[in-house]
Chains A and B, each alone.
Chain A
Amino acid sequence: MGTSSFDRRQLLAALAASTTLPFASGLARAQSFTGRKLVSSGFGGSTMDIIQSAVFTPFDKATGAASTQVPMQSAAALARMKAEAGNPQIDLFQFSGGQEAFAKSEGLSQPLSGVSRLGQIPAGLKDPDGHWVTWAVIAEGIIYRKDKIPTPPTSYKDFLKPEYKGHIAFPAITNGYGIDFLVMLAKAFGGSEDNIEPGFEAMKQIKGETIFKAASDLPTLFGQGDIWIMPYDTGNTFKLQQAGLPVAFATPKEGSPAVFITACVAKGAKNADIANAAIDAMLKPEAQVEIARTMRWTASNPETKLPADLTGEVPSVDKLAQLDRDKINAKRASWIERWNREIAR
């Protein structure tokens, strides 16, 4: 199984190379990085392994580069990017929590160049100045225990239902999923990114429930923590199901917020050329199909055609709700200050 899909990928890579050659021969030929190393930040664990085999291994094969991912949570990766400003040890950064906007505004990233597939990506999924691009999207919603909650939840308002009391968990708002949950609660009760008050009001009613910080707690929360319902995403639902837990994903009627998995190049990166070429490889439809198949992440490139068995499993980008990330980023610090005092205290 493993070898056959590997062969298929090789074949696809070869196919892709042979078809692009006549049109962009100069570009394809220039992309030989034999003997050079690319260092990227990575998300760690099995996610990092899958990205390695879906993106970097074929990329290395095609270009001769040697790519490594350094495991770092997005927030820590941004901190390292800032600490190493001017002399970055990591060329390519992958983020999942909106850090790319900070990286750009702090002058830590540089515009992408020579990323041929950048034009295929819709405007809402990339920086207008070309500093970053979204290469995968994760759909947020509600994860629930099928055996405990027979009728699927339909709204973020369901978190206030008395029958779930004592069995609710939600992430702290330093976590990207936590802050989106706050925004969606606000929207469910008539608020918005500009009017977060209803979100805090709703969250206050469940402040006695389980509040966790990291995605790594999920399996234990559902397995041993007696948790029935929490706001999270499709990718983790799939992982929990693979671990044998009876959970399912529900799309709330307020919408499934989209989480962007982005890539950008560090300013002054020694291997910016390889990093740009690797980002181009991330945007390849073949790579994005593989990511959708193995992790249930949504493709960002509209050229990507999912096989029939995956189309129902992975929501497409246009079905997802787009939160106003600039507004959220601008208010994040003050919301966290308030949240620490009113919810977590």
Chain B
Amino acid sequence: MTKPETKGGGARWALFAPALLFAPCAFVYAVFFIWPQASLLAISATDAAGLTLAHYQRFAGDSYYWEILGRTLGLGAAVTAITLVLGVPTAYLLARVQSRWAGFLLLLTTFPLLVSAVVRSFGWMVLFFRDGLLSHGLMALGFADKPVQTMYTMAGVIIALAQVLLPLMILTLHGVFKSIDRDLEYAAMSLGARPIVALGLVTLRLASGGIVAGSLLVFSLAISAFATPSLVGGARANVMATAIYEQAIELLDWPFAAALATILLVTVLALSLAYGALLEGRGEREAAR
């Protein structure tokens, strides 16, 4: 093997490999995602007379829809916060505990995903009604002095959605925690760091990519979820997905439904690009240090 050949091979690899790696995914996306969605989204910007922004102006000029967009983003933020608070410790302990049953427990966390979204919502319904366990429990513990109705409220939607998205957070973080060398934690502690400092400085920082990925995953799914807001939230917890359903299915106003979907998509793409750029910037600064 001579030197130029190796170089040439490397250059060819550098040129063709990305194309080869992206090709299958790009092809499938182009045909079954970009093409159908682009033609659907195109109808959001056209009417009988040609190009129009009417459907977007209808959104922009109506505080009702801004309220829905705000509520949707709030739902995403609340659900992400809950899954982070509960997911980080659970994933960390499951990645670190040395037991044959750790894998078993990890799989156990995915059980909410096994129960059909419809049935899961009925489970919550039973717990959430004024006559249900949650209301009785809150009264018994002294948090409430009269029966509490959580069904058909935004709080109910947040609780129900966070439960089914928590497994996704745990699974994402588990993979990342597993791939972090435990020796780094030992090293930090042997250098005198207290466990909380070692965890905070070393592990969480190393896992920050996973934490961001998990947060974005949970956030995206929370704001686009339809079944849970519709079944648990009833008529009052209107979010973008239920508004899109109402326009697309109940009223058959596809142009406006497509406009709503585009607005949601663009908002979230912008948010996650900004988030990713922020993180990448930080990562580069750290690498430079």
Q: Do A and B bind each other?
A: yes
Whether B126 lies near A212 (C-beta < 8 A) is no
Q: Which of A214, A216, A220, A333 contacts B253 (CB 8 A)?
A: A333
Give complex CA distance A225, B128 in Å. Answer: 9
Decide yes or no: A75 and B238 within 8 Å by CB, A220-B126, A224-B132, A225-B151 being known contacts.
no
Query: CB of B230 within 8 A of chain A?
Result: yes
B109 CB to nearest chain A CB (Å): 27
Whether A174 lies near B131 (C-beta < 8 A) is no
Give complex CA distance A341, B64 in Å. Answer: 7
B179 CB to nearest chain A CB (Å): 43
Whether B231 lies near A75 (C-beta < 8 A) is no
Query: CB of A121 within 8 A of chain B?
Result: no
Query: CB of A213 within 8 A of chain B?
Result: yes
CB neighbours of B253 from chain A (8 A): 333
Decide yes or no: A172 and B131 within 8 Å by CB, A78-B252, A79-B252, A213-B230 being known contacts.
no
CB neighbours of A214 from chain B (8 A): 231
Decide yes or no: A76 and B249 within 8 Å by CB, A211-B235, A226-B129 being known contacts.
yes
Query: CB of B266 within 8 A of chain A?
Result: no
Q: Which of A216, A217, A224 contacts B131 (CB 8 A)?
A: A224
Give complex CA distance A345, B62 in Å. Answer: 14
Grouping DSSP codes into helix (H, G, I), strand (E, B) and loop, the B interface class, with mixed when no group exceeds half, is: loop
Give complex CA distance A277, B131 in Å. Answer: 49
Query: CB of B177 within 8 A of chain A?
Result: no
CB neighbours of A174 from chain B (8 A): 246, 250
Decide yes or no: A82 and B252 within 8 Å by CB, A212-B152, A217-B125, A225-B130 being known contacts.
yes
Per-residue B-contact encoding for A208-231, CB less than 8 Å = 1, 0 else: 001111101100110011100000
Per-residue A-contact encoding for B122-155, CB less than 8 Å = 1, 0 else: 1001100111100000000000000101011000
Q: Which of B125, B131, B234, B249 contacts A211 (CB 8 A)?
A: B234
Q: How large is the interface on B (under 10, 10 to 19, 20 to 34, 35 or more residues)?
A: 20 to 34
**What are 23 A-B pairs at a CB distance below 8 A?**
A78-B249, A79-B248, A79-B249, A79-B252, A102-B252, A174-B246, A174-B250, A210-B152, A210-B234, A212-B234, A213-B230, A213-B231, A220-B125, A224-B126, A225-B129, A226-B129, A226-B131, A332-B251, A336-B246, A336-B250, A344-B235, A345-B64, A345-B236
Query: CB of A340 within 8 A of chain B?
Result: yes
Q: How large is the interface on A (under 10, 10 to 19, 20 to 34, 35 or more residues)?
A: 20 to 34
Most buried by A among B122, B125, B132, B234: B234
CB neighbours of A225 from chain B (8 A): 129-131, 151
Per-residue B-contact encoding for A331-345, CB less than 8 Å = 1, 0 else: 011001000110011
Whether B249 lies near A75 (C-beta < 8 A) is yes
CB neighbours of A210 from chain B (8 A): 149, 151-152, 234
Give complex CA distance A224, B129 in Å. Answer: 6
Give complex CA distance A220, B131 in Å. Answer: 10
B233 CB to nearest chain A CB (Å): 9
Give complex CA distance A213, B147 in Å. Answer: 23
Nearest B residue (CB) for A339: B235
A69 CB to nearest chain B CB (Å): 19
Most buried by A among B129, B131, B235, B246: B235
Interface residues of B (CB under 8 A from A): 64, 122, 125-126, 129-132, 147, 149, 151-152, 230-231, 234-236, 238, 246, 248-253
Whether B235 lies near A213 (C-beta < 8 A) is yes
Per-residue B-contact encoding for A173-190, CB less than 8 Å = 1, 0 else: 010000000000000000
CB neighbours of A336 from chain B (8 A): 246, 250-251
Whether B152 lies near A220 (C-beta < 8 A) is no
B18 CB to nearest chain A CB (Å): 36
Give complex CA distance A345, B64 in Å. Answer: 9
Most buried by B among A172, A224, A336: A224
Q: Which of A79, A211, A224, A333 contacts B152 (CB 8 A)?
A: A211
A7 CB to nearest chain B CB (Å): 37
Besides A102-B252, A174-B250, 6 other A-B contacts (C-beta < 8 A): A78-B249, A210-B149, A213-B235, A224-B125, A225-B151, A332-B251
Nearest A residue (CB) for B125: A220
CB neighbours of A341 from chain B (8 A): 64
B199 CB to nearest chain A CB (Å): 43
B55 CB to nearest chain A CB (Å): 14
Give complex CA distance A345, B236 in Å. Answer: 6
Q: Which of A172, A211, A220, A332 contacts B122 (CB 8 A)?
A: A220
CB neighbours of A345 from chain B (8 A): 64, 236
Give complex CA distance A344, B233 in Å. Answer: 11
Give complex CA distance A212, B249 in Å. Answer: 18
* B-facing residues in A147-174 (Cβ within 8 Å): 172, 174
Give complex CA distance A336, B238 in Å. Answer: 13
CB neighbours of A76 from chain B (8 A): 249
CB neighbours of B131 from chain A (8 A): 224-226
Give complex CA distance A344, B238 in Å. Answer: 9
CB neighbours of A106 from chain B (8 A): 252
Most buried by B among A102, A221, A226, A341: A226
Give complex CA distance A211, B230 in Å. Answer: 12
Per-residue B-contact encoding for A40-57, CB less than 8 Å = 1, 0 else: 000000000000000000
CB neighbours of B250 from chain A (8 A): 75, 174, 336
